[in-house]
Amino acid sequence: MKIRNFCIIAHIDHGKSTLADRLLASTGAVTKREEREQTLDSMDLERERGITIKASSVSVMHHYEGEDYMLNFIDTPGHVDFHYEVSRALQACEGAILVVDSAQGVEAQTVANAYLAIESDLEMIPVINKIDLPGARPEEIALETEQVLGLPADECIFTSAKTGAGITELLDAICARLPDPSPRKSGDEAPKSDDEKTRALIFDAKYDDYRGVVVYFRLFGGKLKVGDKIRMMGTKRGFAVGELGKFKPKMTRQKEPMLAGEVGYMVASIKTLADVNIGDTITLDNDPAECALPGYQEPHPMVFCDFYPSGETQFDDLREAVTKLHINDASFTYQPTNSEALGSGFRCGFLGMLHMDIIQERLEREGNVSLVQTAPTVTYEIEQRDGTVFEITNPADLPDPSLIKEIREPMITAEIITPNKSIGDLMKLCDQRRGEYKKQQYLSETRQILDYELPLAETIYDFYDKLKSITSGYGTMDYQLNGFRRDNLVKMDILVNGTRVDALSVIVHRDKAEYRGRVLLKRLKQEIDRHLFEIPLQAAIGGKIIARETIKSVGKNVTAKCYGGDVTRKRKLLEKQKKGKERMKRVGTVDIPQEAFMAVLDTGE
Amino acid sequence: MQQPQQVVSGHGVNLFQDTQNALGLYLHIPFCFHKCHYCDFYSIVDSATRHEDRQQHFTDALISELLTANDKSPLKVRTIFVGGGTPTLLQPKFWHQIFQTLHKIVDFSSLDEFTVEANPETVTDELMRLFAQNGVNRISIGAQSFDQSLLKVLERWHDPQNVSKAMNIARNAGIRYINLDMIFAIPSQTMDRLNADLDAVLDLQPDHISDYSLIFEPNTPLTQKRNMGLIQPIKEDIERDMFEHVITRLSQAGYDHYEISNWAKKTQANQDLPVWGNRCLHNLLYWHNANWLGFGPSAASHMNGHRWKNLPHLGKYIEGSPIPPTIDHEYLKQHDRIGEQLMMLLRLREGVSTAWIKKHIPDSDVRHQTIKELRDINMLEIRDNYLRLTDQGLFVGDAVIARLL
Ligand code: SF4
């Protein structure tokens, strides 16, 4: 029996899930009824958003030219924020299927993910999908793929996951074109002797309420069986293998040992996801390998925000929800924090905005808590006059300006694919966001690739939405983090009714501060209800007020009638007024709604 | 001439000693000849002549319901209030039957106040004499405005001329107290037109004035029109100015502003009046959270912390006779009950006594802090050992009170 390990990489809606389902169905792994479900996506939330967050793997059998092949399909997510999950899935494969929509063509994520695969020395099979669509231009798109990614157009396989066209051809190509599993990865510096030793790469882990942590691994060399004493080479922690198995696509236990080249899962009484490092190498305790497989760097969170309890939710409820979610999903970081304005909460770190939204929604939904979330911000690198350098993730933590030599902010290199006609407007957008033009590249007669270097902070909020609207939905973007760069950055404080609200402080470019201040205060004015007293709003840099607004006090709010004796009705009406307030955060004597904390993101464009 | 002076003050006077028994009765007569566009009271359109049967069935059911409250000894209630709807739309023969029943179940010797609401068009000599003979001593007339075109905005059908006629008829028949209901901040009203309305009211010298700012209640034609942009509500700051103006003018004219929307003519030392003067005792009873029983569809009741309402549905009311279907039962927890009481008492200009606060609000209650905050921003004040809305707080009374619920 031969083994093929591969993943599918695609732009977000180019039909990866349906193609995967089709592949499974054609190998007989999934019945017709199960086919209806998108087998590989499990969480509701993921399905609602049409994305796959967690990578998982499925093993199926295929017969090709008289031989049995075990096809191990490792799933990858398709969103910009989840690059790291794509790259760790790539580590476990020898091949990748690159799916391109035959109407939409190559998109920014296709390019980014294809480059990742090429860097990892993966064999690639380009697939032009959705050829059943009326607007399909498979030949043209195949040429585009050749032009941008250097994958020969004549190697493209045309498929329709919907009608089944090209699916058998694709399965055959997987068997024929992808290499046999190798005991070592590219860049592997292990001695030859390690090829015989047990080395398994952890490419994912999930938490299951019954089994504890389920570890997904790809075995490069040696064997693994139930009862083996194993050691994680990175963390040096030891466990005993309690259960081994594969997803076919249902979780299926296996008694026989797992052999080199195979992909599977193991359960080993690991209590929390924090005990497992994705990218770590598993070896046998009594016959260890010398070198771990080339490491894989867990990404640093780059976007941060605070969560505070609101309404009925207490800090303890929030703590419970956060820690519980973290056992299930270690992709975000958290630490307790304290705000003068908002009390006790958690500062959490995310890989991007979408990731943040997902975590926030899961906290509210699964943890049943109500939250006030502060506006997301990025990490800043601070160099003080005395030479010390450190990072802050919260503008409120910025030291006194007199101590600061410079503030550096994280940069990204953005690759934007856009229709020609939107180029001008896109460049204007990038300029407004302090972007630096890098290069422009021809993609096809109608589209171009635009490279820009931008401050991450300028892109975390509505940049992607703006890009989408400028390009009528046709533009796509992908980005890589690209170090820190110094700029003329200052902290702008916001005073509500004379009190500085630390959760509203924001780091901005000095030249844009007045403008941002005015926009921010206007937004705050819209978001904060009128009170019984006048509320001055001010934006300040250091001690200097740079913008101001006033929220007028309520003029009249008194129901004249007392509804005969219907006291209940009267009380309920007033209670409604009061309830509205309870969902807000009280800062001093001012009730501030959640939306107001997001006001700092309004760029006023 | 003797200056009008206020001999009546609620301060220190406990008007409602009996806290166990019903001290008031409320009767709801659910008929009107036409539905005013701002109205959300429960009433159905009725013309007495065409719907005599229905009036009879309603009267029968009301009487049966009243009889359920009959006790071994007659009820020692202090007030009866007949509201609606338009109670005066009920034919005299039905009034007759209702009075008979009331005399059977109520000890009229302890009755201080008996009010009936009246539409100016339906105040007849016959009816007023019948009322007076049967102990009615107060008539509340729905004038709303004396401006024909403003009445049109409200879709209120009566001739403003008839208000003074109705007052004369009632007074001549021996009705002692007369209230006029007024509304201000009616779309298209200006300060000048408000002044004209106030002139007209003061000219008539009623004993009591209720002047409400117009409320856009949900599910009323007026609100629909507003939502469709057909009428423009008065702007908030103008409404506030109007309210302020009403307060100033009525007090200058010798009326005591004793509740957010209620004014009582100040009494003079030589007048032989009860301690509450020209104030409406029945309403004071609501605001002091005393017990009362409501009869008729949609009527609310309160007995020792229990509140409920009859279903606002005439058909079911008649069907269910003598025990009508009820809704909105409520018995509040202590904490909420205190909030409710504050809500009611703070509507009174005198406010709530600090002794009451000390007695009922535990030290641990955040309300003490809230009260302090509200005093700091001059929304509440303490005057003569009473906590009350400031002149400024009055305009935003709901927002202030909401914080204390
Ligand atoms: S008369 Fe009174 S109860 Fe009848 S519709 Fe008009 S406002 Fe409503």
pLDDT in tens, B279-317: 999 999 999 889 999 999 999 999 988 999 999 999 999
| AA identity, residue B262 | N
How far is the C-alpha of A573 from the C-alpha of A557, rounded, in Å? 12
Query: Residue A421's CB: how many other CB atoms inside 10 A?
Result: 11
Name which of B212, B287, B330 is nearest A568 (Cβ-Cβ): B330
Angle subtended at Cα A462 by Cα A458 and Cα A468, rounded to the nearest 5 degrees: 115
Residue A52: the pLDDT is 38
How do A590-592 and A303-309 pair as beta strands?
unpaired
How far is the C-alpha of A284 from the C-alpha of B90, rounded, in Å? 97
Asked if B243 has any chain A CB less than 8 Å from its own CB, the reply is yes
Highest mean pLDDT of the ranges A201-215, A391-405, B176-190: B176-190
The reply to whether residue B240 touches residue A556, judged by beta carbons under 8 angstroms, is yes
Residue B6 pLDDT greater than 50, yes or no: no
The reply to whether residue A571 touches residue B243, judged by beta carbons under 8 angstroms, is no
C-beta separation of A142 from A126 below 8 A: yes
Residue A542 pLDDT greater than 70, yes or no: yes
Instruction: Name the residue of chain A whose CA is nearest to B338's CA.
Output: A571
Asked if B250 has any chain A CB less than 8 Å from its own CB, the reply is no
Instruction: Name the residue of chain B whose CA is nearest to A579's CA.
Output: B402
User: What's the CA dihedral at A316, A322, A328, A330 to 10 degrees?
Assistant: -140
C-alpha of residue B81 to centroid of ligand 1, in Å: 16
Q: In this structure, what token pair is assigned to residue B10?
A: 């609620």
How far is the C-alpha of B117 from the C-alpha of B87, rounded, in Å? 6
Pocket test for ligand 1, best of B31, B41, B145, B182 (most atoms within 8 A of CB): B41
User: Which of B87, B71, B113, B28 lies closest to B300, judged by CA?
Assistant: B28
CA B218 to chain centre: 20
- The domain made up of B23-287 has a fold known as Transcription Regulator spoIIAA (3.30.750)
Instruction: Name the residue of chain A whose CA is nearest to B239's CA.
Output: A556
Q: In this structure, what token pair is assigned to residue A461?
A: 């909020």
Residue A473: the pLDDT is 77
Percentage of residues in chain B having pLDDT higher than 90:
78
Residue A197: the pLDDT is 93
Pick the atom of ligand 1 nearest to B85's CA.
3
The reply to whether residue B343 touches residue A555, judged by beta carbons under 8 angstroms, is no
Q: In this structure, what token pair is assigned to residue A457?
A: 């902070």
Asked if A571 has any chain B CB less than 8 Å from its own CB, the reply is yes
Residue A37: the pLDDT is 52
Interhelix angle for B161-172 vs B125-133, to 10°?
40
Pick the atom of ligand 1 nearest to B32's CA.
4
Name which of B236, B300, B403 is nearest A566 (Cβ-Cβ): B300
Residue A521: the pLDDT is 93
| Span of A47-61, A530-544, B14-28 with lowest mean pLDDT | A47-61
C-beta separation of B202 from B172 below 8 A: no
Asked if B309 has any chain A CB less than 8 Å from its own CB, the reply is yes
Query: Which regions of B95-137 does DSSP assign to beta strands (E)?
Result: 113-118
CA-closest residue to ligand 1 atom 8: B39
Percentage of residues in chain B having pLDDT higher than 70:
95
Residue A55: the pLDDT is 41
The reply to whether residue B302 touches residue A565, judged by beta carbons under 8 angstroms, is yes
C-beta separation of A122 from A114 below 8 A: no
Residue A504 pLDDT greater than 80, yes or no: yes
Residue B380 pLDDT greater than 60, yes or no: yes
User: Which of A211, A205, A206, A198 lies closest to A262, judged by CA?
Assistant: A198
Tell me the pLDDT tens digit for each residue of B7-58.
334 444 567 777 778 789 999 999 998 899 999 889 988 765 567 789 999 9
| Span of A330-339, A489-498, A576-585, B37-46 with lowest mean pLDDT | A576-585
- How close does chain B come to A572, measured CA to CA in Å? 10
Query: Residue B252's CB: how many other CB atoms inside 10 A?
Result: 9
Residue B325: the pLDDT is 93
Residue B142: the pLDDT is 94
DSSP-based three-state secondary structure for B89: helix
The reply to whether residue B398 touches residue A561, judged by beta carbons under 8 angstroms, is no
More confident call, B70 vs B168: B168
Instruction: Name the residue of chain B whose CA is nearest to A569's CA.
Output: B328
Tell me the pLDDT tens digit for each residue of B166-196.
999 999 999 999 999 999 999 999 999 999 9
The reply to whether residue A567 touches residue B339, judged by beta carbons under 8 angstroms, is no
The reply to whether residue A568 touches residue B240, judged by beta carbons under 8 angstroms, is no
CATH class of B335-405: mainly alpha
Tell me the pLDDT tens digit for each residue of B197-232.
999 999 999 999 999 999 998 889 999 999 999 999
Instruction: Return residue ranges of chain B for CATH 1.10.10.
Output: 335-405
Pocket test for ligand 1, best of B27, B29, B43 (most atoms within 8 A of CB): B43
More confident call, A298 vs A135: A135
User: Which of B142, B163, B169, B144 lies closest to B154, judged by CA?
Assistant: B144
Q: What is the mean pLDDT of chain A?
A: 85
The reply to whether residue A560 touches residue B401, judged by beta carbons under 8 angstroms, is no
Tell me the pLDDT tens digit for each residue of A68-97.
999 998 877 655 566 666 777 888 899 999
CB pairs under 8 A between A and B: 106
Please compute, for residue B112, the number of CA atoms within 13 A of its CA located in the half-sphere on the CB side: 20
Residue A25: the pLDDT is 78
User: Which of A554, A311, A328 lies closest to B377, judged by CA?
Assistant: A554
What average pLDDT score do residues A33-62 get?
Answer: 54
DSSP-based three-state secondary structure for A298: coil
DSSP A308-320: EE-TT--HHHHHH
Name which of B301, B343, B396 is nearest A557 (Cβ-Cβ): B396
- Give the DSSP H/E element, type plus range, for residue A173: helix A167-177
A565 chain-B contacts, CB cut-off 8 A: 26, 286, 292, 294, 299-302
User: Which of A491, A506, A504 lies closest to A401, judged by CA?
Assistant: A491
Query: Model pTM?
Result: 0.68
What average pLDDT score do residues B326-348 get?
Answer: 92
Asked if B395 has any chain A CB less than 8 Å from its own CB, the reply is yes
Residue B327: the pLDDT is 92
Which CA distances in Å does B134 have to A103, B61, B79, B95, B175?
A: 89, 21, 14, 10, 11
C-beta separation of A51 from A78 below 8 A: yes
What average pLDDT score do residues B376-386 get?
Answer: 94
More confident call, A472 vs B102: B102
Residue A13: the pLDDT is 67
Burial A177-186 (b: 16+ CB within 10 A, else e): ebeebbbbbe
Tell me the pLDDT tens digit for each residue of A302-321.
789 999 988 778 899 999 99
Q: In this structure, what token pair is assigned to residue A306?
A: 């605070």
More confident call, A117 vs A80: A117
A157 falls in which pLDDT band (50, 70, 90)?
very high
Pocket test for ligand 1, best of B29, B34, B36 (most atoms within 8 A of CB): B36
How far is the C-alpha of B319 from the C-alpha of B324, rounded, in Å? 8
Q: What is the DSSP letter of A493?
A: E
For chain A, the farthest-separated pair of C-alpha atoms sits apart, in whole angstroms, at: 93
CA-closest residue to ligand 1 atom 2: B85
A51 falls in which pLDDT band (50, 70, 90)?
very low
Q: Is the ipTM of this complex over 0.85?
A: no
Residue A34: the pLDDT is 52
Instruction: Return residue ranges of chain B for CATH 3.30.750.200.
Output: 23-287
Query: Which regions of A285-358 does DSSP assign to beta strands (E)?
Result: 303-309, 333-339, 343-350
DSSP-based three-state secondary structure for A246: strand
Q: Tell me which residues have their CB closer than 6 angstroms to ligand 1.
A: B 32, 35-36, 39, 41, 43, 84-86, 119, 142
The reply to whether residue B377 touches residue A532, judged by beta carbons under 8 angstroms, is yes
Residue A118: the pLDDT is 84
A430 phi, psi to nearest 5 deg: -65, -35
CA-closest residue to ligand 1 atom 3: B85
